Structure 1
């Protein structure tokens, strides 16, 4: 891997990488239960998109969905990628920056990676469609990675994707949620697309192969739609070196709690006796009382760390849940960016009070439940939408000045679970973590997805790249129930620089012409 990075470092020109994602229905059984799914290129998770710093991705998405029991349109989001003022129309957030892509249609997303490096992922943004399987990793390698001396291996074999899995199609689950207000409980958890459910077949666990004495950069992505995973390797500490694409001062821990949408890179040194060890990924997400099928067993989400020379068998011993001491996985307050910056004082301060209507699938920010508009935010901006009057109240759109520092404060919530709020097209400083009482304005961690919950959370970000930024809970059941907003900065600057393609301009009219069962 280091030879490959050195080779790329010798290249001075930006590479344009063509990627093809064929979105189609097929039957898969990630946890041993066979069902119709929505996937890219026939696999769950989808194929890894691997790029280098500075590359431009041309992602050709072809929609061949036919199964009418699920959504047949789609919208591709590249989680954590910034885009910029002249490229927002490629960002892929349905009804924020574009309209969905209907069946038997194709669209090429132009994705400039700029100076970003690290661990990202792609998924359907439409409704809760990625629950049905449309999700996969996006890795941006850095030829000049400041941590190159800390690891020996960093390739496709060291990508770890944890996710939640349901055996029933999303529209049925959403209907049940809307009728009861109870978020569906997953049947299982998966590691790199493989899992088990209680009482189901003993699907072979994934295997991560290592050689004693070598050091591995594992890129761990929580691609779930709800579940919080706490990951660890038996008898091995790990060193965190990246948080949501941001290089992090090395921090040694025994476990990491990961919310939906969050990513970490960790270095594991294969310094134990040759053998087999568990990778643990137990999760929480929903009350056991709602586990009506009796399928959910968090201890079944795991893989095997296998040393060269060890027998091809599972580790001896029970399915544990990982370390019981240390941080308990709540490491966010201890993390510091590799190159920390003190966030500027805020120019604009917002308060987001989260609430849910009892007994209903209706979440609100400041008393407003987000509903996606028929005309996307970006289309309205290009048409002159500079004032609040251009946006319906239910669009929950906040118009912000360009080149300003914005602070968003989430007061302590009465809700008993932490909501992973994700900001599209930007990072933020975590001034106050939900897992600490400290207010850090000196060297706070920088990321794009943060837990918001009972202890309160505060973030700050800059609007140096104006545009419509979707800001939502990454529990997609909650997002679908209204827990979302749009932070629109510098609409006049967006309009001055945006130059969307004719293909993008045609997406909305094509989508509106679709029959309801094809949307």
Structure 2
């Protein structure tokens, strides 16, 4: 039985101040979901917040802690909360994705969610997992080493969350309903944000640009989260390199670089050395977007790094170097440079694969319903799929249906190999290949299976990079490449020595990525693209991992206050 250990509480009193390395102890967190008025880009609107904050409060814990969060829905719509990157051993009940592991928390109701931290250490994040609510309902999770254990790098002087987001002048719920209704693509956001602020390049919000002060000669830990809805981002700090020391809640071999790339869902821990002359320096982020004729928010968001001391700051700090928006080589040079830290995580990469899964991930189209006008290509509706199945969410959550043997909620038999074989990345592909099947099919895994999963991007409708996220597991990214995966040649180039442990992997445009993991977490776990428009169109499926034989290899019982369907 898992006992409540301690809950570490960090009260954010000044927005995003520096975070000290000691925290106040509290038994529970209270998350109050409610509407609040916020002003950005000369417009004021009501947005969904947690505890009235945008971004929301930070959850802080030590490795191995168990935390409880009381979620009170005082908003106007249904809500769920997901703890992104937290494996939740044997406990999918409070993982959070709507109609996958729970029904939503209705307005006026509450749900006590248990968060079981195990091997994670570093930075993760939490976010709403219903409709597009996560656009404003999200925040950082910080997992410190166990008591009396040190970081595997020099202790920083201080640390600060850097959370990227997207801001729409329009109500984001309206953006969501409009593009699903019309069948077209969603409206682009009007600005990117750093810690809720667009930055100096937007005069209406310039006075509230996020700033943080540093002392020359000291080191600072940036805990970076990409909470943007649909954009992979380049990020850099003017005249400063950063040293990446962690990603997705696990430490990495130190990587010193002048820019980073981070997709929605991913987190990065990076050390910044304040080794320049005292002045003001911009930190900036903008999109990496490889899709041909795919519209995106091409704005740049900024924050300011301010050195302490007596000096006259430059009136117009220069922007840092950022690669061009479609520089795929720069993006994957960064991703390919990340390495795991075997001395910190001695478990080896699994070599004896028992379950091979190959999937195509595609943007698709569906015929427009008779009597309707649709805004997709050639009058169709946009869709998305994995192995040619566009996921349809049920009205009862799959975990409940699995646990209580409720029939006709989902079906087994999700294909573990592409049902159609063709040149996936060809420039021109037959139109009939664009139309997927629709269904609620799942992949069933035996407990202890060693899984190799290959994601193959396709050029159906149009190729683009896909950040693929799996709930309930971390996985080794053993390889990636461009073009069609060659099952004979490409595995020969896998990194089986020190690949990074991740929970979200970016599949290159018209390319592939291969991951491995052990299926030792029984329950129901969602897999999906973390570009929110692709998730909304159906690029998702579900793993059901069966119980093992031991008492610690079986699904925990449901909590008594599970939300009602």
Which TM class, normalised by the smaller chain length? 0.7 to 0.9
- Partner residue of 2:350 out of 322, 328, 343: 343
Instruction: Give the equivalent residue in structure 2 for 1:499.
Output: 557
More deviation in 172-181 or 453-462? 172-181
- Partner residue of 1:481 out of 519, 537, 543: 537
Q: Name the TM-score, length of structure 1 as normaliser.
A: 0.86
More deviation in 164-173 or 305-314? 305-314
Instruction: Give the equivalent residue in structure 1 for 2:306.
Output: 306
Distance in 2, Cα, partners of 1:440 & 1:100: 40
Cα separation, partners in 2 of 1:312 and 1:195, compared to 1, 3 Å: farther
Alpha-carbon distance, 1:203 to partner: 2.5
**Contact 2:283–2:304 (CA under 8 A) maintained in structure 1:** yes
Cα separation, partners in 2 of 1:281 and 1:389, compared to 1, 3 Å: closer
Instruction: Give the equivalent residue in structure 2 for 1:433.
Output: 480
Distance in 2, Cα, partners of 1:323 & 1:363: 28
CA shift digits 1:32-89 (9 cap, x unpaired): 42111000011110011112222221101110113xxxxx01000000001111x221
- Partner residue of 2:80 out of 75, 82, 88: 75
Instruction: Give the equivalent residue in structure 2 for 1:411.
Output: 456
Instruction: Give the equivalent residue in structure 2 for 1:444.
Output: 499
SS for the counterpart of 2:212 is strand
Alpha-carbon distance, 1:329 to partner: 4.7
**Contact 1:185–1:285 (CA under 8 A) maintained in structure 2:** no
**Contact 2:201–2:302 (CA under 8 A) maintained in structure 1:** no
- Partner residue of 1:90 out of 88, 94, 97: 94
**Contact 1:16–1:57 (CA under 8 A) maintained in structure 2:** no
Is 1:373 the counterpart of 2:374? The answer is: no
**Contact 2:410–2:440 (CA under 8 A) maintained in structure 1:** no
More deviation in 170-179 or 146-155? 146-155
Alpha-carbon distance, 1:387 to partner: 12
Instruction: Give the equivalent residue in structure 1 for 2:425.
Output: none
Distance in 2, Cα, partners of 1:432 & 1:199: 40
Q: Which ranges of structure 1 fall in alignment gaps of 5 or more residues?
A: 9-14, 67-71, 512-519
Distance in 1, Cα, partners of 2:229 & 2:20: 37
SS for the counterpart of 1:272 is coil
Instruction: Give the equivalent residue in structure 1 for 2:243.
Output: 239
Is 1:38 the counterpart of 2:48? The answer is: yes
Alpha-carbon distance, 1:148 to partner: 5.5
Cα separation, partners in 2 of 1:249 and 1:318, compared to 1, 3 Å: closer
Instruction: Give the equivalent residue in structure 1 for 2:512.
Output: 456
Cα separation, partners in 2 of 1:161 and 1:203, compared to 1, 3 Å: same
Name whichever structure is richer in helix by fraction: 1
SS for the counterpart of 2:439 is helix
Total equivalences in the alignment: 487
Alpha-carbon distance, 1:390 to partner: 4.8
Distance in 2, Cα, partners of 1:256 & 1:199: 23
The 5 Å alignment of 1:16-27 reads 17-27=27-37
> How well do the aligned residues superpose, as a CA RMSD in angstroms?
3.1
Cα separation, partners in 2 of 1:287 and 1:417, compared to 1, 3 Å: closer
Distance in 1, Cα, partners of 2:173 & 2:249: 32
**Contact 2:214–2:305 (CA under 8 A) maintained in structure 1:** yes
**Contact 1:248–1:337 (CA under 8 A) maintained in structure 2:** yes
SS for the counterpart of 2:43 is coil
Is 1:420 the counterpart of 2:475? The answer is: no
Cα separation, partners in 2 of 1:247 and 1:496, compared to 1, 3 Å: closer
Distance in 2, Cα, partners of 1:350 & 1:118: 30
Q: Name the TM-score, length of structure 2 as normaliser.
A: 0.79
**Contact 1:304–1:315 (CA under 8 A) maintained in structure 2:** no
Cα separation, partners in 2 of 1:462 and 1:371, compared to 1, 3 Å: same
